């Protein structure tokens, strides 16, 4: 392989930013199987288009590809192929099921971690129930730490739209969490 082969660089970048890619895909698609497949598609595509990378934030470039592959999958889904979204299933089955499918420590909690696992489950459910355009900017800004400009470029929308979606998304999420906490009589 040529030492200047950009595919080597892109492969490294994608693997280094694999958690970010997976987290985004998981939030956009709602289940592990689709998220894994979308990230795999994105990886292949990133390697193929490595030579077209023209500079700028490499992470944002990679996440843009991931996002495209997620939407391709969503389209496939709505075109007839049926997938059962695990989150949807969990919402039907209730909190216990949600906790079983949550990442990492959520399900393994001895009683000390139980409260925070429940809190996390609640946050996950409320974030998942947000309209996708709000959920997406929240994930990109709050979890993946992209700037307004980077998000605007990724989504091909004006910065003003990023700002309004972010504000509304935060508002709705805070409101939902407050209502949720009030219902269960706990602190938010």
Judged by CB under 8 A, the number of residues near another protein is 58
Considering only residues 15 to 34 of the shown chain, the ones binding another protein according to CB under 8 A are: 15-16, 18-23, 26-27, 32
Task: Provide the minimum distance between the beta carbon of 100 and another protein in the complex, in angstroms, as a whole number.
Answer: 15
DSSP string, 17-74: THHHHHHHHHHHH-SHHHHHHHHHHHHHHHHHTGGG--SS-HHHHHHHHHHHHHHHHH
- By CB under 8 A, is residue 123 in contact with another protein? yes
Give the E-state strand segments of 80-173 in sequence order: none
Among 8, 49, 72, 74, binds another protein (CB under 8 A): 8
Among 86, 90, 166, 172, binds another protein (CB under 8 A): 166
- By CB under 8 A, is residue 138 in contact with another protein? yes
Q: Which of 62, 39, 35, 63 is nearest to 50 (CA)?
A: 62
In the bound state with another protein, the residue whose beta carbon lies nearer, of 40 and 75, is: 40
Q: Between vectors from CA 67 to CA 20 and to CA 104, what angle results, nearest 5°?
A: 35
Q: What is the distance between the alpha carbons of residues 55 and 49, in angstroms, rounded to a whole number?
A: 13
Angle, to 10 degrees, between the axis of helix 32-48 and the axis of helix 6-16?
160
- By CB under 8 A, is residue 120 in contact with another protein? yes
Considering only residues 41 to 60 of the shown chain, the ones binding another protein according to CB under 8 A are: 43-44, 47, 55-60
- By CB under 8 A, is residue 4 in contact with another protein? yes
Q: Are 164 and 131 in contact (CB under 8 A)?
A: no
Q: Residues 105, 96, 84, 151: is their CA dihedral positive or negative?
A: negative
- By CB under 8 A, is residue 134 in contact with another protein? no
Letters for 61-100 (x = contact with another protein by CB under 8 A, - = none) are ----------------------------------------
Token pair for residue 114?
A: 């139980």
Q: Give the residues lining the site for another protein (CB under 8 A).
A: 1, 3-9, 11-12, 14-16, 18-23, 26-27, 32, 35-36, 39-40, 43-44, 47, 55-60, 103-106, 119-120, 123-124, 127, 138, 141-143, 145, 147-148, 163, 166-167, 170, 173-174, 177
């Amino acid at each position: 392989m040529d030492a200047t082969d950009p595919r080597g660089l892109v492969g490294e970048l994608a693997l280094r930013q694999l958690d970010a890619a997976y987290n985004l895909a998981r939030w956009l698609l709602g289940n592990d199987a689709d998220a894994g497949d979308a990230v795999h598609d994105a990886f292949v595509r990133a390697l193929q288009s490595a030579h077209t990378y023209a500079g700028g934030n490499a992470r944002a470039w990679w996440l843009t590809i991931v996002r495209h592959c997620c939407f391709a999958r969503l389209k496939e889904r709505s075109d007839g192929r049926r997938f059962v979204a695990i989150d949807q299933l969990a919402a039907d089955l209730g909190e216990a099921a949600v906790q079983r499918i949550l990442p990492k420590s959520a399900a393994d909690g001895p009683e000390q971690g139980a409260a925070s696992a429940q809190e996390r489950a609640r946050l996950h459910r409320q974030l998942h129930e947000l309209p996708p355009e709000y959920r997406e900017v929240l994930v990109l800004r709050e979890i993946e730490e992209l700037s307004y400009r980077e998000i605007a470029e990724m989504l091909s929308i004006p910065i003003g739209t990023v700002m309004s979606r972010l504000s509304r998304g935060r508002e709705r999420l805070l409101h939902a969490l407050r209502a949720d906490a009030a219902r269960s009589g706990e602190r938010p």
